[in-house]
Amino acid sequence: MQRPQSVIVYLRVSTERQGRSGLGIEAQRASVRDYLAGTACEQLAEFVEVESGTRRDRPQLAAAFAAARLHRAVLVIAKLDRLSRDAGFLIGLQKAGVRFIACDMPSASEMVVGIMAVVAQAEREMISQRTKAALKAAKERGTKLGGFRGYVGTADDLNRARALYAAQADQRATDLAGTIATLQASGVTSLGALATALNARRITASRGGSWSAVQVRRVLQRLSTLQVSA
């Protein structure tokens, strides 16, 4: 049986007065509840914040992001403007590795991804044009072209890709650090036991599957490296 989609709920009001009254929060909570009632989603946690939408350093939003990444969950908000009116910030969600759904505009997340895809495509086309121009110029200079042609990117492109992968792996390990530390403190210390405990908590491995002892060891090694370099 397929597991229901896990969701993390984020609610925000702009002023302390709204926060104390609970009216804005309760209205958002009701909107989210009504939306989830028509789905097979399972709410894992709720984060509430009293902060202006123009600020990006929101602790509860950061905590919601971390929880969403940890559980491979979707971030659910009542209205799109509760997250941010800043388009650049919304696009940054993709970099944060967080999918989101706005109850008043469920297709918004797809729209953002679509915008990013268009931008990425434009960048790829520009890179392709520059690469072709460089190859043409090299050929005109008499440079012999040959060898493996499956990848025409530069060494810098490859290094950037490796750096991005490493950064994502570091972020995933960091998100898992608190949970693993809690398990170890409770006496769950072997690799196999940690894998079983993470699976029981419905925290997926890096590629979305179940944990194994080998995958746990890799995360622990990465955490050890991060602590040494800190």
Distance of CA 89 to the CA centre of its chain: 13
Q: Which two tokens stand for residue 71?
A: 């559980």
Catalytic residues: 14
Amino acid at 204: T
